[in-house]
Amino acid sequence: MKPVTAKLMIWLGGATIMSLIATLVLWLSPAIASDVVESTSSMPPEVIRWGLVAAALATGASSIAAGYAVSNVGSAAIGALAENPELIGRVLIVIGLAEGIAIYGLIISVLILNGIF
């Protein structure tokens, strides 16, 4: 197999796994929402269901975006460090900024869940 084809297969496999997980979350969210509504009857089950989906999508999408950003920034950082090892501090800051995307998504999902429950 060509390297480009192998990369494509890895991306397609990851997308397939993510779609199966999203389907499982959407399938289980009515059951979770109905259990929550029975304990706290302040919100309708549709609001809780879509809130759980929104929290899952916020965390998942931001984690995927952070992984993509870190892979691109990390490979460029290794190239820069190979030429000039004194750039280690600047490189770590840039990689940390790329990892911050996942933390922002996690914070948003916590805020969504806090609003639901």
Report how far residue 44's alpha carbon sits from residue 16's, in angstroms, rounded to the nearest whole number.
32
pLDDT of residue 42: 75
Q: What confidence score (pLDDT) does residue 108 get?
A: 93
pLDDT at site 37:
59
For Cα atoms 89, 95, 98, give the angle at the middle one, nearest 5 degrees.
Answer: 145
**What pTM, to 2 d.p., does this model score?**
0.63
pLDDT of residue 103: 92
Per-residue model confidence (pLDDT) at position 1? 47
- pLDDT beneath 50, residues of the chain: 1
The pLDDT, as a whole number, for residue 104 is 93
Buried-state track 53-86, b at ≥16 Cβ within 10 A, e below 16: bbbbbbbbebebebeebbeebeeebeeeeeeeee
What pLDDT shows up at residue 34? 66
pLDDT at 32: 66
Task: Take residue 8 and report the two structure tokens written for it.
Answer: 């494509």
Q: Please tell me the predicted confidence (pLDDT) of residue 49.
A: 83
